[in-house]
């Protein structure tokens, strides 16, 4: 929901709370957005999330990163082919940077051709268009395609694993370490359900065109058509990804994502007993999230939230807004109970640069902070020349005494 310059019940459902702040002149000023309205409903008790038969799992909202269900989500576990999500992420990053191109011809080495496990069936000594190899990784889960890409991008799989770990560190995936591009068993390779959700969230947001490949149900190469192993794509039309994985040590794993009515959820289940179980448990998590929670876009970067008086400036007021779009995830049916408070000085002084922090927005529900953001100036205000500033200072001095 977008907020108008003068938030009110017609333009902003969350109720604005009063907040008292000190101005530069020492006076307490009540900052008021919109009046309180509506009657808060009694807090609702959410049902417990369903029991999930997995060694570790998580359910996360993609827009807010709010965790809706989890157990052992930070426990390091073998990733199996979930590692290929990071493989695809690295390749997408290199494509974005222009260091490789989707039309590049990628040579297939003996090493890539001989890689065991699931295969795209590339042939030693041939070249494959990079875009096809990416589909071979994402849709067919080809280990041979993963190694060919790793060798092309980084010169070798070890060097590519270093790139995977560098990206993991940048994303805050502190529970992960990658040793190869395939996810094949390795003593020093592990990840967590939480880290897989974080990676998937970033993948969806940063590389939407690449992520779209995860919804493709099959891919044919070299005369061999293979289906996407994510059977949720057939069972739930709102699911559009992400990736399955299996080894004896890892068990059956699945990272899934679905979007319904503008709300996107990400689930990760690791260490289940069968393909049927990983599909069932993922569906249970997604169904729970969509049934009992809702996500709202409250404030957009393009919309001013408030204006404040400016002294000693070329204009008398400045508008303020948020630097990033604000989303909140709440129990379903509690939207009218959200409260938002703006903490801003009663008076600002020029000069003010566009983007300067001039206050704070806080969104709460039942006293719990759902979101907090700085308020920034949406335009610059230059300072008056010395003489004009002097006379304006005199005016404000006497005006403050009267008030």
Q: Which residues are catalytic?
A: 81, 84, 141
d(CA 227, CA 371): 41
Fill in the DSSP letter of residue 75.
S
Tokens of 94: 């290199």
Number of other residues whose CB lies within 10 A of the CB of residue 98: 7
**Buried/exposed 36-55: b ≥16 CB within 10 Å, e otherwise:** eeeeeeeeeeeeebeebbbb
- How far apart, in whole angstroms, are the C-alpha atoms of residue 132 and residue 145? 9
Query: Is 68:49 a contact under the CB 8 Å cutoff?
Result: yes
Instruction: Output DSSP code: residue 250.
Output: T
Q: At what angle do helices 193-206 and 83-97 cross, to 10 degrees?
A: 30
The dihedral sign for the CA sequence 354, 356, 359, 361: positive
Enumerate the β-bridge partners of residue 357: 376
20-25 long-range contacts (CB < 8 A, ≥24 apart) are: 21/343, 21/344, 21/345, 21/346, 22/345, 23/345, 23/346, 23/347, 24/345, 24/347, 24/349, 25/347, 25/400
Please give the backbone phi and psi of residue 47, each rounded to the nearest 5 degrees, phi first: -70, 150
CA angle 303, 304, 305 (to 5 degrees): 115
Query: 184: helix, coil or strand?
Result: coil
User: 3-state SS of the chain: helix, strand, coil percent to 5?
Assistant: 30, 30, 40
């Amino acid at each position: 929901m977008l907020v108008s310059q003068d938030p009110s019940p017609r333009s902003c459902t969350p109720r604005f709370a009063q907040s008292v702040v000190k101005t530069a002149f020492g006076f307490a000023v009540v900052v008021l957005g919109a009046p309180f309205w509506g009657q808060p409903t009694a807090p609702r008790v959410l049902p417990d999330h369903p029991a999930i038969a997995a060694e570790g799992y998580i359910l996360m909202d993609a827009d807010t990163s709010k965790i809706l269900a989890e157990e052992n989500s930070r426990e390091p576990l073998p990733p199996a082919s979930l590692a290929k999500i990071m493989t695809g992420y690295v390749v997408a990053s290199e494509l974005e940077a222009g260091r490789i191109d989707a039309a590049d011809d990628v040579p297939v080495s003996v090493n890539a051709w001989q890689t065991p496990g699931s295969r795209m069936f590339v042939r030693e000594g041939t070249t494959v268009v990079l875009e096809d190899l990416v589909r071979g990784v994402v849709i067919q889960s080809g280990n041979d395609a993963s190694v060919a890409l790793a060798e092309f991008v980084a010169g070798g799989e070890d060097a590519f694993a270093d790139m995977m770990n560098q990206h993991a560190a940048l994303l805050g995936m502190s529970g992960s370490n990658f040793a190869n591009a395939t996810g094949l068993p390795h003593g020093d390779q592990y990840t967590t359900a939480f880290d897989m959700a974080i990676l998937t969230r970033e993948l969806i947001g940063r590389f939407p065109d690449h992520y779209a490949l995860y919804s493709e149900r099959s891919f044919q190469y070299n005369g061999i058509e293979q289906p996407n192993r994510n059977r949720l794509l057939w069972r739930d039309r709102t699911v559009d990804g992400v990736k399955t994985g299996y080894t004896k040590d890892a068990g059956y794993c699945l990272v899934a994502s679905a979007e319904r009515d503008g709300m996107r959820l990400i689930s990760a289940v690791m260490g289940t007993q069968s393909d049927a179980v990983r599909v069932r448990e993922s569906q249970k998590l997604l169904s729970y999230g969509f049934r009992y929670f809702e996500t709202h876009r409250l404030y957009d970067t393009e919309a001013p939230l408030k204006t404040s008086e400016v002294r000693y400036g070329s204009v008398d007021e400045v508008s303020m807004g948020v630097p990033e779009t604000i989303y909140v995830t709440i129990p379903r049916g509690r939207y009218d109970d959200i409260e938002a408070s703006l903490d801003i000085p009663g008076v600002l002084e020029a000069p003010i640069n566009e983007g300067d922090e001039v206050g704070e927005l806080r969104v709460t529900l039942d006293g719990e902070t759902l979101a907090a953001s700085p308020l920034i100036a949406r335009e610059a205000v230059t300072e008056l020349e010395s003489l004009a500033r002097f006379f304006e200072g005199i005016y404000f001095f006497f005006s403050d005494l009267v008030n």
